[in-house]
Structure 1
Protein backbone atom coordinates (compact mmCIF):
# COMPACT_ATOMS: atom_id res chain seq x y z
CA UNK A 1 0.00 0.00 0.00
CA UNK A 2 1.22 3.48 -0.82
CA UNK A 3 -1.06 6.29 0.33
CA UNK A 4 1.12 9.30 -0.49
CA UNK A 5 4.62 10.19 -1.61
CA UNK A 6 6.99 13.12 -1.52
CA UNK A 7 9.09 14.80 -4.18
CA UNK A 8 11.77 17.14 -2.88
CA UNK A 9 12.32 20.14 -5.13
CA UNK A 10 16.06 20.26 -4.46
CA UNK A 11 16.50 16.67 -5.68
CA UNK A 12 14.10 16.76 -8.62
CA UNK A 13 14.29 20.38 -9.83
CA UNK A 14 15.61 19.52 -13.30
CA UNK A 15 12.88 16.94 -13.90
CA UNK A 16 10.09 19.16 -12.58
CA UNK A 17 11.14 22.17 -14.66
CA UNK A 18 11.20 19.99 -17.78
CA UNK A 19 7.71 18.59 -17.16
CA UNK A 20 6.14 21.94 -16.29
CA UNK A 21 7.33 23.42 -19.60
CA UNK A 22 5.47 20.77 -21.62
CA UNK A 23 2.46 22.07 -23.54
CA UNK A 24 0.70 18.78 -22.84
CA UNK A 25 1.24 19.22 -19.08
CA UNK A 26 -0.23 22.72 -19.14
CA UNK A 27 -3.21 21.52 -21.17
CA UNK A 28 -3.77 18.66 -18.72
CA UNK A 29 -3.56 21.01 -15.75
CA UNK A 30 -6.15 23.37 -17.24
CA UNK A 31 -8.48 20.62 -18.45
CA UNK A 32 -8.49 18.78 -15.10
CA UNK A 33 -8.15 21.80 -12.84
CA UNK A 34 -5.08 20.33 -11.13
CA UNK A 35 -1.81 21.86 -9.94
CA UNK A 36 1.42 21.32 -11.86
CA UNK A 37 3.53 21.83 -8.73
CA UNK A 38 4.39 18.11 -8.54
CA UNK A 39 6.62 18.70 -5.52
CA UNK A 40 6.13 18.33 -1.79
CA UNK A 41 3.54 15.78 -0.62
CA UNK A 42 1.53 14.19 -3.43
CA UNK A 43 -1.68 12.18 -3.10
CA UNK A 44 -3.95 10.08 -5.33
CA UNK A 45 -5.61 12.27 -8.01
CA UNK A 46 -2.57 14.63 -8.10
CA UNK A 47 -0.37 15.05 -11.18
CA UNK A 48 3.12 13.55 -10.76
CA UNK A 49 6.25 13.27 -12.96
CA UNK A 50 6.49 9.72 -14.31
CA UNK A 51 9.11 7.85 -16.37
CA UNK A 52 7.61 5.99 -19.35
CA UNK A 53 8.53 5.16 -22.95
CA UNK A 54 7.76 7.55 -25.81
CA UNK A 55 6.54 6.35 -29.21
CA UNK A 56 10.12 5.48 -30.11
CA UNK A 57 10.59 3.35 -27.00
CA UNK A 58 12.93 5.87 -25.34
CA UNK A 59 12.55 6.66 -21.65
CA UNK A 60 11.20 10.16 -21.08
CA UNK A 61 9.37 12.03 -18.34
CA UNK A 62 5.59 12.50 -18.58
CA UNK A 63 3.00 14.20 -16.39
CA UNK A 64 0.45 11.61 -15.21
CA UNK A 65 -2.48 11.60 -12.81
CA UNK A 66 -2.28 9.22 -9.86
CA UNK A 67 -5.09 6.66 -9.84
CA UNK A 68 -7.09 4.78 -12.47
CA UNK A 69 -10.79 5.57 -12.51
CA UNK A 70 -13.56 2.98 -12.53
CA UNK A 71 -17.31 3.25 -12.92
CA UNK A 72 -17.84 1.24 -9.72
CA UNK A 73 -16.32 3.94 -7.49
CA UNK A 74 -15.68 7.67 -7.35
CA UNK A 75 -12.33 7.09 -5.62
CA UNK A 76 -9.12 6.74 -7.67
CA UNK A 77 -7.62 3.24 -7.84
CA UNK A 78 -4.25 4.30 -6.50
CA UNK A 79 -2.65 0.90 -5.90
CA UNK A 80 -2.57 -2.39 -7.76
CA UNK A 81 -1.50 -5.67 -6.15
CA UNK A 82 1.31 -7.26 -8.15
CA UNK A 83 -0.02 -10.71 -7.26
CA UNK A 84 -3.06 -10.15 -9.50
CA UNK A 85 -1.78 -7.52 -11.97
CA UNK A 86 -1.46 -10.05 -14.81
CA UNK A 87 -4.84 -11.66 -14.06
CA UNK A 88 -7.44 -8.95 -13.44
CA UNK A 89 -8.92 -7.39 -16.56
CA UNK A 90 -8.48 -3.90 -15.10
CA UNK A 91 -4.68 -4.24 -14.94
CA UNK A 92 -3.70 -7.01 -17.38
CA UNK A 93 -3.12 -4.96 -20.51
CA UNK A 94 -1.10 -2.35 -18.64
CA UNK A 95 0.97 -5.04 -16.91
CA UNK A 96 2.12 -6.43 -20.22
CA UNK A 97 2.27 -3.25 -22.32
CA UNK A 98 2.27 -0.06 -20.22
CA UNK A 99 4.61 -0.02 -17.25
CA UNK A 100 6.09 3.14 -15.77
CA UNK A 101 8.14 4.40 -12.82
CA UNK A 102 7.61 7.26 -10.38
CA UNK A 103 10.93 8.80 -9.26
CA UNK A 104 10.15 10.02 -5.74
CA UNK A 105 12.22 11.21 -2.81
CA UNK A 106 10.25 8.92 -0.48
CA UNK A 107 6.82 7.51 0.18
CA UNK A 108 4.64 7.64 3.26
CA UNK A 109 2.92 4.84 5.08
CA UNK A 110 0.97 4.50 8.29
CA UNK A 111 2.44 1.61 10.24
CA UNK A 112 3.19 0.15 13.61
CA UNK A 113 5.90 1.82 15.71
CA UNK A 114 9.08 -0.19 16.22
CA UNK A 115 11.06 -0.12 19.45
CA UNK A 116 14.54 -1.37 20.27
CA UNK A 117 14.57 -4.50 22.42
CA UNK A 118 10.86 -4.94 21.68
CA UNK A 119 9.45 -7.70 23.90
CA UNK A 120 5.80 -7.26 22.90
CA UNK A 121 3.86 -10.13 21.44
CA UNK A 122 2.75 -9.90 17.79
CA UNK A 123 -0.83 -9.24 18.95
CA UNK A 124 0.34 -6.39 21.20
CA UNK A 125 2.45 -5.03 18.34
CA UNK A 126 -0.51 -5.03 15.92
CA UNK A 127 -2.78 -3.38 18.49
CA UNK A 128 -0.46 -0.39 18.83
CA UNK A 129 -1.70 2.90 17.36
CA UNK A 130 -0.22 3.45 13.91
CA UNK A 131 2.06 6.36 13.10
CA UNK A 132 3.13 7.88 9.79
CA UNK A 133 6.54 6.84 8.43
CA UNK A 134 8.67 8.37 5.68
CA UNK A 135 10.27 5.49 3.76
CA UNK A 136 12.94 5.57 1.07
CA UNK A 137 15.51 3.36 -0.62
CA UNK A 138 18.45 2.88 1.69
CA UNK A 139 21.49 4.87 0.54
CA UNK A 140 19.73 6.73 -2.29
CA UNK A 141 18.10 10.15 -2.71
CA UNK A 142 15.64 8.79 -5.28
CA UNK A 143 13.20 5.92 -4.73
CA UNK A 144 12.02 4.38 -8.00
CA UNK A 145 8.43 3.17 -7.55
CA UNK A 146 7.08 0.70 -10.13
CA UNK A 147 3.64 1.43 -11.56
CA UNK A 148 1.23 0.72 -14.41
CA UNK A 149 -0.44 3.31 -16.60
CA UNK A 150 -3.18 3.69 -19.16
CA UNK A 151 -4.92 6.50 -21.07
CA UNK A 152 -8.42 7.61 -20.09
CA UNK A 153 -10.77 10.05 -21.78
CA UNK A 154 -11.42 13.08 -19.57
CA UNK A 155 -13.41 15.84 -21.23
CA UNK A 156 -12.25 14.80 -24.69
CA UNK A 157 -8.57 14.63 -23.68
CA UNK A 158 -6.59 11.41 -23.49
CA UNK A 159 -5.05 11.64 -20.02
CA UNK A 160 -2.33 9.23 -18.80
CA UNK A 161 -3.22 7.74 -15.40
CA UNK A 162 -0.98 5.56 -13.23
CA UNK A 163 -1.44 3.16 -10.34
CA UNK A 164 1.36 2.10 -7.96
CA UNK A 165 2.22 -1.59 -7.83
CA UNK A 166 2.36 -3.05 -4.33
CA UNK A 167 3.72 -6.30 -2.95
CA UNK A 168 3.91 -8.17 0.32
CA UNK A 169 6.23 -6.26 2.63
CA UNK A 170 9.80 -7.52 2.99
CA UNK A 171 12.96 -6.49 4.77
CA UNK A 172 12.73 -3.67 7.29
CA UNK A 173 9.28 -2.50 6.12
CA UNK A 174 7.75 -5.79 7.24
CA UNK A 175 8.02 -4.62 10.84
CA UNK A 176 5.72 -1.65 10.29
CA UNK A 177 3.29 -2.70 7.53
CA UNK A 178 2.20 -5.79 5.62
CA UNK A 179 2.39 -4.16 2.15
CA UNK A 180 4.91 -1.96 0.33
CA UNK A 181 5.36 -0.54 -3.17
CA UNK A 182 7.47 -2.45 -5.67
CA UNK A 183 10.75 -0.52 -5.49
CA UNK A 184 13.20 -0.85 -8.38
CA UNK A 185 16.94 -0.52 -8.58
CA UNK A 186 17.97 2.39 -10.80
CA UNK A 187 19.59 -0.08 -13.19
CA UNK A 188 16.25 -1.83 -13.77
CA UNK A 189 14.16 1.25 -14.57
CA UNK A 190 14.73 1.30 -18.36
CA UNK A 191 14.12 -2.43 -18.63
CA UNK A 192 10.92 -2.16 -16.57
CA UNK A 193 9.28 0.42 -18.84
CA UNK A 194 10.09 -1.43 -22.08
CA UNK A 195 6.81 -2.78 -23.54
CA UNK A 196 8.65 -5.99 -24.49
CA UNK A 197 10.43 -6.24 -21.14
CA UNK A 198 10.12 -9.03 -18.58
CA UNK A 199 8.17 -7.56 -15.63
CA UNK A 200 8.06 -10.79 -13.60
CA UNK A 201 11.85 -11.18 -13.67
CA UNK A 202 12.45 -7.54 -12.78
CA UNK A 203 9.88 -7.62 -9.96
CA UNK A 204 11.74 -10.56 -8.42
CA UNK A 205 14.75 -8.23 -8.07
CA UNK A 206 12.74 -5.49 -6.34
CA UNK A 207 14.58 -3.77 -3.50
CA UNK A 208 13.70 -4.51 0.11
CA UNK A 209 16.31 -2.55 2.08
CA UNK A 210 14.47 0.60 3.06
CA UNK A 211 15.36 3.38 5.49
CA UNK A 212 12.47 4.83 7.45
CA UNK A 213 11.73 7.31 10.20
CA UNK A 214 8.68 8.89 11.78
CA UNK A 215 7.31 11.49 9.39
CA UNK A 216 6.09 15.01 9.97
CA UNK A 217 2.37 15.75 9.94
CA UNK A 218 0.53 16.19 6.65
CA UNK A 219 0.27 19.70 5.27
CA UNK A 220 -3.12 18.84 3.78
CA UNK A 221 -5.59 15.99 4.03
CA UNK A 222 -5.06 13.14 1.53
CA UNK A 223 -7.83 12.33 -0.90
CA UNK A 224 -9.73 9.10 -0.39
CA UNK A 225 -8.68 6.23 -2.64
CA UNK A 226 -8.90 2.48 -2.86
CA UNK A 227 -6.57 -0.34 -3.83
CA UNK A 228 -7.55 -3.17 -6.13
Structure 2
Protein backbone atom coordinates (compact mmCIF):
# COMPACT_ATOMS: atom_id res chain seq x y z
CA UNK A 1 0.00 0.00 0.00
CA UNK A 2 1.05 3.58 -0.68
CA UNK A 3 -0.70 6.94 -0.30
CA UNK A 4 -1.37 9.91 -2.53
CA UNK A 5 -1.62 13.48 -1.25
CA UNK A 6 -2.66 16.05 -3.82
CA UNK A 7 -0.89 19.33 -2.90
CA UNK A 8 -3.72 21.58 -4.11
CA UNK A 9 -6.36 19.78 -2.04
CA UNK A 10 -4.28 19.83 1.15
CA UNK A 11 -2.25 23.01 0.65
CA UNK A 12 -3.24 24.59 3.99
CA UNK A 13 -2.30 21.47 5.95
CA UNK A 14 1.00 20.99 4.12
CA UNK A 15 2.13 24.59 4.57
CA UNK A 16 1.33 24.47 8.30
CA UNK A 17 3.08 21.19 9.07
CA UNK A 18 6.22 21.98 7.03
CA UNK A 19 6.85 25.07 9.17
CA UNK A 20 6.93 23.09 12.42
CA UNK A 21 10.26 22.77 14.21
CA UNK A 22 9.44 19.09 14.78
CA UNK A 23 9.12 18.53 11.02
CA UNK A 24 12.40 20.28 10.32
CA UNK A 25 14.24 18.21 12.93
CA UNK A 26 12.68 14.97 11.69
CA UNK A 27 13.74 15.74 8.14
CA UNK A 28 17.36 16.17 9.25
CA UNK A 29 17.48 13.19 11.64
CA UNK A 30 15.72 10.76 9.30
CA UNK A 31 17.13 12.11 6.05
CA UNK A 32 13.63 12.44 4.59
CA UNK A 33 11.97 15.05 2.38
CA UNK A 34 9.37 17.41 3.84
CA UNK A 35 7.38 17.47 0.61
CA UNK A 36 4.69 15.27 2.20
CA UNK A 37 2.76 15.37 -1.07
CA UNK A 38 2.56 13.30 -4.22
CA UNK A 39 3.02 9.56 -3.71
CA UNK A 40 4.08 8.58 -0.18
CA UNK A 41 5.60 5.26 0.90
CA UNK A 42 6.48 3.55 4.21
CA UNK A 43 9.27 5.45 6.05
CA UNK A 44 8.23 8.78 4.43
CA UNK A 45 7.09 11.70 6.59
CA UNK A 46 3.36 12.45 6.29
CA UNK A 47 0.89 14.92 7.85
CA UNK A 48 -1.15 13.15 10.54
CA UNK A 49 -4.08 14.19 12.75
CA UNK A 50 -3.65 13.43 16.45
CA UNK A 51 -4.52 15.05 19.81
CA UNK A 52 -2.33 17.91 21.03
CA UNK A 53 -1.42 18.43 24.70
CA UNK A 54 -4.85 19.99 25.29
CA UNK A 55 -6.65 17.01 23.78
CA UNK A 56 -7.69 18.92 20.67
CA UNK A 57 -7.22 17.54 17.18
CA UNK A 58 -4.13 18.98 15.51
CA UNK A 59 -1.79 18.23 12.61
CA UNK A 60 1.65 16.71 13.18
CA UNK A 61 4.45 15.32 11.02
CA UNK A 62 4.97 11.58 11.55
CA UNK A 63 7.12 8.92 9.89
CA UNK A 64 5.22 6.03 8.35
CA UNK A 65 5.84 2.69 10.01
CA UNK A 66 6.72 1.39 13.47
CA UNK A 67 10.17 -0.14 13.66
CA UNK A 68 10.98 -3.50 15.22
CA UNK A 69 14.16 -5.48 15.67
CA UNK A 70 12.62 -8.46 13.85
CA UNK A 71 12.65 -6.70 10.47
CA UNK A 72 14.68 -3.97 8.71
CA UNK A 73 11.52 -2.64 7.05
CA UNK A 74 9.07 -0.32 8.83
CA UNK A 75 5.82 -1.99 9.89
CA UNK A 76 3.47 0.12 7.80
CA UNK A 77 0.23 -1.74 8.59
CA UNK A 78 -1.46 -3.22 11.64
CA UNK A 79 -4.29 -5.73 11.40
CA UNK A 80 -7.37 -4.57 13.27
CA UNK A 81 -8.00 -8.16 14.39
CA UNK A 82 -4.87 -8.20 16.60
CA UNK A 83 -4.38 -4.50 17.42
CA UNK A 84 -5.76 -4.88 20.95
CA UNK A 85 -3.76 -7.99 21.82
CA UNK A 86 -0.27 -7.93 20.26
CA UNK A 87 2.26 -6.14 22.51
CA UNK A 88 3.60 -4.04 19.63
CA UNK A 89 0.22 -2.39 19.01
CA UNK A 90 -1.80 -2.77 22.20
CA UNK A 91 -0.76 0.38 24.05
CA UNK A 92 -1.25 2.56 20.97
CA UNK A 93 -4.63 0.95 20.27
CA UNK A 94 -5.92 2.06 23.64
CA UNK A 95 -4.07 5.37 24.06
CA UNK A 96 -2.57 6.72 20.83
CA UNK A 97 -4.82 6.69 17.79
CA UNK A 98 -4.44 8.98 14.80
CA UNK A 99 -5.86 9.75 11.36
CA UNK A 100 -3.94 10.01 8.10
CA UNK A 101 -5.72 12.29 5.60
CA UNK A 102 -4.98 11.36 1.99
CA UNK A 103 -6.44 12.10 -1.41
CA UNK A 104 -6.52 8.34 -2.03
CA UNK A 105 -4.50 5.22 -1.41
CA UNK A 106 -2.98 2.73 -3.84
CA UNK A 107 -3.31 -1.03 -3.75
CA UNK A 108 -2.25 -3.79 -6.10
CA UNK A 109 -5.24 -5.97 -6.90
CA UNK A 110 -6.95 -8.14 -9.43
CA UNK A 111 -8.54 -6.47 -12.47
CA UNK A 112 -12.33 -6.43 -12.59
CA UNK A 113 -14.34 -6.99 -15.76
CA UNK A 114 -18.05 -6.30 -16.29
CA UNK A 115 -18.67 -9.64 -17.98
CA UNK A 116 -16.44 -11.91 -15.93
CA UNK A 117 -16.98 -15.63 -16.45
CA UNK A 118 -13.73 -16.69 -14.79
CA UNK A 119 -13.82 -18.95 -11.75
CA UNK A 120 -12.08 -17.91 -8.52
CA UNK A 121 -8.84 -19.75 -9.33
CA UNK A 122 -8.63 -18.10 -12.75
CA UNK A 123 -9.41 -14.73 -11.19
CA UNK A 124 -6.64 -15.09 -8.59
CA UNK A 125 -4.14 -16.16 -11.27
CA UNK A 126 -4.65 -12.91 -13.18
CA UNK A 127 -1.75 -10.46 -13.11
CA UNK A 128 -2.37 -7.75 -10.51
CA UNK A 129 -2.66 -4.08 -11.46
CA UNK A 130 -2.35 -0.89 -9.41
CA UNK A 131 -5.58 0.80 -8.29
CA UNK A 132 -6.26 4.25 -6.83
CA UNK A 133 -8.97 3.93 -4.15
CA UNK A 134 -10.81 6.70 -2.30
CA UNK A 135 -13.96 7.43 -0.33
CA UNK A 136 -16.95 7.94 -2.57
CA UNK A 137 -18.10 11.58 -2.70
CA UNK A 138 -15.10 13.06 -0.86
CA UNK A 139 -11.82 14.68 -1.89
CA UNK A 140 -10.16 13.44 1.30
CA UNK A 141 -10.01 9.84 2.52
CA UNK A 142 -9.51 9.64 6.30
CA UNK A 143 -7.46 6.57 7.21
CA UNK A 144 -7.34 5.34 10.80
CA UNK A 145 -3.97 4.63 12.36
CA UNK A 146 -1.97 4.13 15.54
CA UNK A 147 1.11 6.07 16.59
CA UNK A 148 3.91 5.97 19.10
CA UNK A 149 7.25 7.67 19.81
CA UNK A 150 10.56 5.97 19.07
CA UNK A 151 14.09 6.98 20.02
CA UNK A 152 16.18 7.91 16.99
CA UNK A 153 19.47 9.78 17.12
CA UNK A 154 18.62 11.52 20.45
CA UNK A 155 15.14 12.43 19.24
CA UNK A 156 11.67 11.16 20.08
CA UNK A 157 10.29 10.51 16.60
CA UNK A 158 6.51 10.12 16.19
CA UNK A 159 5.69 7.16 13.93
CA UNK A 160 2.35 5.85 12.68
CA UNK A 161 1.00 2.62 11.26
CA UNK A 162 -2.19 2.20 9.23
CA UNK A 163 -4.94 -0.06 10.56
CA UNK A 164 -6.25 -2.59 8.06
CA UNK A 165 -9.40 -4.69 8.05
CA UNK A 166 -11.00 -7.36 5.91
CA UNK A 167 -12.06 -5.74 2.64
CA UNK A 168 -15.69 -4.68 2.32
CA UNK A 169 -17.86 -3.19 -0.39
CA UNK A 170 -16.39 -2.79 -3.88
CA UNK A 171 -12.80 -3.24 -2.66
CA UNK A 172 -13.47 -6.96 -2.08
CA UNK A 173 -13.39 -7.45 -5.85
CA UNK A 174 -9.74 -6.44 -6.09
CA UNK A 175 -8.11 -7.14 -2.72
CA UNK A 176 -8.79 -9.03 0.52
CA UNK A 177 -7.68 -6.19 2.84
CA UNK A 178 -8.32 -2.44 3.06
CA UNK A 179 -7.47 0.40 5.46
CA UNK A 180 -9.93 1.30 8.20
CA UNK A 181 -11.66 4.36 6.69
CA UNK A 182 -13.41 6.89 8.94
CA UNK A 183 -16.21 9.35 8.33
CA UNK A 184 -15.11 12.96 8.84
CA UNK A 185 -17.62 13.30 11.70
CA UNK A 186 -15.91 10.47 13.61
CA UNK A 187 -12.34 11.79 13.60
CA UNK A 188 -12.41 13.51 16.99
CA UNK A 189 -14.02 10.47 18.62
CA UNK A 190 -11.33 8.24 17.11
CA UNK A 191 -8.32 10.19 18.37
CA UNK A 192 -9.67 10.76 21.90
CA UNK A 193 -7.39 8.74 24.24
CA UNK A 194 -10.40 7.78 26.37
CA UNK A 195 -12.56 6.86 23.38
CA UNK A 196 -13.80 3.40 22.42
CA UNK A 197 -12.03 2.37 19.20
CA UNK A 198 -13.93 -0.92 18.92
CA UNK A 199 -17.25 0.91 18.65
CA UNK A 200 -15.93 3.12 15.86
CA UNK A 201 -14.54 0.18 13.90
CA UNK A 202 -18.11 -1.01 13.41
CA UNK A 203 -18.97 2.39 11.87
CA UNK A 204 -16.04 2.49 9.43
CA UNK A 205 -16.77 3.22 5.78
CA UNK A 206 -16.87 0.79 2.88
CA UNK A 207 -18.34 3.07 0.20
CA UNK A 208 -15.14 3.28 -1.82
CA UNK A 209 -14.57 3.92 -5.51
CA UNK A 210 -11.51 2.85 -7.50
CA UNK A 211 -9.88 3.02 -10.90
CA UNK A 212 -6.62 1.93 -12.43
CA UNK A 213 -3.87 4.17 -11.12
CA UNK A 214 -2.01 6.78 -13.13
CA UNK A 215 1.73 6.79 -12.58
CA UNK A 216 2.78 10.23 -11.35
CA UNK A 217 6.30 11.55 -10.72
CA UNK A 218 7.32 10.87 -7.11
CA UNK A 219 7.37 14.57 -6.29
CA UNK A 220 5.26 16.34 -8.94
CA UNK A 221 6.12 19.81 -10.28
CA UNK A 222 3.03 21.36 -8.65
CA UNK A 223 4.24 20.47 -5.15
CA UNK A 224 3.96 23.57 -3.00
CA UNK A 225 6.95 24.86 -1.09
CA UNK A 226 6.13 26.66 2.15
Q: Which residue of 2 aligns with 1:59?
A: 57
CA distance in structure 1 between the aligned counterparts of 2:22 and 2:177, rounded to whole angstroms? 34
CA distance in structure 2 between the aligned counterparts of 1:216 and 1:10, rounded to whole angstroms? 17
CA distance in structure 2 between the aligned counterparts of 1:120 and 1:24, rounded to whole angstroms? 52
CA distance in structure 1 between the aligned counterparts of 2:97 and 2:215, rounded to whole angstroms? 32
CA distance in structure 2 between the aligned counterparts of 1:32 and 1:217, rounded to whole angstroms? 26
Query: Relative to structure 2, which stretch is displaced further, 46-55 or 28-37?
Result: 28-37
Q: Which residue of 1 aligns with 2:128?
A: 130
Query: Relative to structure 2, which stretch is displaced further, 117-126 or 139-148?
Result: 117-126
4+ runs of 1 displaced by more than 6 Å? none
Q: Normalising by the residue count of structure 1, what TM-score does the alignment of the two structures yield? A: 0.94
Q: How many residues align?
A: 218
CA distance in structure 2 between the aligned counterparts of 1:10 and 1:146, rounded to whole angstroms? 22
CA distance in structure 1 between the aligned counterparts of 2:36 and 2:117, rounded to whole angstroms? 42
Which of 55, 61, 75 is 1:77 aligned to? 75
- After TM superposition, list the pairs within 5 Å mapping 1:96-107 onto structure 2: 96-107=94-105
CA distance in structure 2 between the aligned counterparts of 1:72 and 1:19, rounded to whole angstroms? 32
CA distance in structure 2 between the aligned counterparts of 1:52 and 1:63, rounded to whole angstroms? 10
Q: Could you tell me which runs of 5 or more consecutive residues in structure 2 were left unpaired when the two chains were aligned.
A: 219-226
- Can you list the C-alpha shifts for 1:28-86, whole angstroms capped at 9, x where unaligned? 11111110000000000000000000111000000000000001111000000000000
Which of 152, 158, 162 is 2:156 aligned to? 158
Which of 166, 178, 187 is 2:185 aligned to? 187
Q: Could you tell me which runs of 5 or more consecutive residues in structure 1 were left unpaired when the two chains were aligned.
A: 221-228
Q: Which residue of 1 aligns with 2:41?
A: 43
CA distance in structure 1 between the aligned counterparts of 2:153 and 2:53, rounded to whole angstroms? 23
Q: Secondary structure at the match of 2:10?
A: helix
Q: Which residue of 2 aligns with 1:121?
A: 119
